């Protein structure tokens, strides 16, 4: 085996080992940061009654969030679409950023008790049983039965 092949294999193994070590250290760092952020969210969480008006995935600058929020948001979120909820809280209409799981399941045009931390919605409980597509009343009979 030529010497240059041995050198390339050694360099490749060193790069792979460095990537594995780097991956584990970054993973621990990101997990620690996520735990700290979740702890802060749980500390500042409050329950609010709101009427959900609309929910969409849109960019932060198009969502109508306050200027201060847009300035403090990381640059990587400027181009990403975020789950945005428009809701009426008391007499005011406000814009919230939702958790992914909450965004998928939250019903539109219903009153909910939501757990809110700043502008971030982390959970909700419907106030009344809402009529969704799967619980809507079914039509009785068909048009042919009515004609005959």
Q: Note the pLDDT tens digit of each residue in 91-136.
A: 999 999 998 888 999 999 999 999 998 889 988 988 875 554 444 4
Fold exhibited by the domain 43-126: OB fold (Dihydrolipoamide Acetyltransferase, E2P) (2.40.50)
- In which band, very low, low, confident or very high, does the pLDDT at 10 lie, cut at 50, 70 and 90? very high
Percent of the chain with pLDDT over 70: 86
| Residue 138 confidence (pLDDT) | 56
**Can you give the pTM of this predicted structure?**
0.65
What is the phi/psi pair of residue 119, to 5°? -110, 10
- Per-residue burial over 73-88, b = 16 or more CB atoms within 10 Å of its CB, e = otherwise: eeeeeeeeebbbbbbe
Domain extents in the chain: 43-126
């Amino acid at each position: 085996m030529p010497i240059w092949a041995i050198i390339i294999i050694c360099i490749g193994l060193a790069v792979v080992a460095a990537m594995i070590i780097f991956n584990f250290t970054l993973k621990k760092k990101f997990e620690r940061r996520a735990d700290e952020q979740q702890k802060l969210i749980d500390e500042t969480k409050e329950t609010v009654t709101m009427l959900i008006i609309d929910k969409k995935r849109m960019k932060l600058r198009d969502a109508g969030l306050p200027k201060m929020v847009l300035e403090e948001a990381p640059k990587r979120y400027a181009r990403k679409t975020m789950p945005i909820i428009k809701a009426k809280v008391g007499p005011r209409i406000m814009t919230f950023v939702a958790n992914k799981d909450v965004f998928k399941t939250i019903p539109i045009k219903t009153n909910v008790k939501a757990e809110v931390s700043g502008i971030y919605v982390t959970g909700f409980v419907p106030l009344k049983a809402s009529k969704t597509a799967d619980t809507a009343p079914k039509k009785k009979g068909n048009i042919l039965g009515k004609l005959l």
